[in-house]
Amino acid sequence: MYAIPGRVALVTAASSGIGLACARALARAGARVAINSRDPERLAAAARQVAESAGRPVLAVPGDLTDPEVPFRITARSRANSARSSCWSPTSAAPAGHLRRARRAGLARRDRQRPVAGDPALARGPARMRNLRFGRIVHVLSLTARQPLGGLATSNTLRPAVAGLIGDLARDNAVHGITVNAVCPA
């Protein structure tokens, strides 16, 4: 990874897995890192891990991004710590737990709407980067955005919609010096 000292990176769903690995890599590359997750205890443990690997503090802001107030709370906490996000790394729209439940019994209406509900909150990230005339947004999506998998009807339906949102964000924000990309592991 390139050295990125002075940059600020927000990594969502950073309490484990790909989100935690991204936070560690960004911190080791020199970025000031803010992390987010819904579980405050796991987030605190992740913040300690990232801080230890980077040798500097990490800002941890718990909250569910489907709550429209959470992105504002993250921004306010970042500003209070003299940080302006230049990287925004939203993770997959539908948590793995939701997909496991979908395989077993299908999702309740509320759970089917939840993955899409969070994305408008993530879409506000570029608005905060426009003042900087710079930003990098990397959305960790899923293989199901391009290739439907058996037993994942909800994911097979929602992920392509999220990919479309990412494409719209990319086109709309390119003129502001902001790039928006999706990575589909696997």
pLDDT digits 0-9 by tens, 4-46: 887 888 898 899 999 999 999 999 999 888 899 999 999 999 9
**What pLDDT band is residue 2 in, cutting at 50, 70 and 90?**
low
Sheet holding 8-11, edge to edge: 59-60, 32-35, 8-11, 87-89, 135-140, 178-183
What proportion of the chain, given as a percentage, has pLDDT over 90?
24
Please check whether residue 120 lies inside any domain of the structure.
yes
Please check whether residue 3 lies inside any domain of the structure.
no
Give the pair of three-digit tokens for residue 123. Answer: 């879409």
Please check whether residue 113 lies inside any domain of the structure.
yes
**pLDDT score recorded for residue 103:** 38
Q: How many domains does the chain have?
A: 1
Residue 169: give its domain's CATH number.
Answer: 3.40.50.720
Higher pLDDT, residue 178 or 114? 178
Please check whether residue 150 lies inside any domain of the structure.
yes
The pTM for the full model equals: 0.74
Expressed as residue numbers, the domain containing 177 is 8-183
Please check whether residue 19 lies inside any domain of the structure.
yes
Please check whether residue 65 lies inside any domain of the structure.
yes
Please check whether residue 2 lies inside any domain of the structure.
no
* For residues 37-64, average pLDDT: 93
Please tell me the distance from the alpha carbon of residue 44 to that of residue 119, in angstroms, as a whole number. Answer: 24
| C-beta neighbour count of 145 within 10 angstroms | 22
Residue 147 CB-half CA count within 13 A: 4
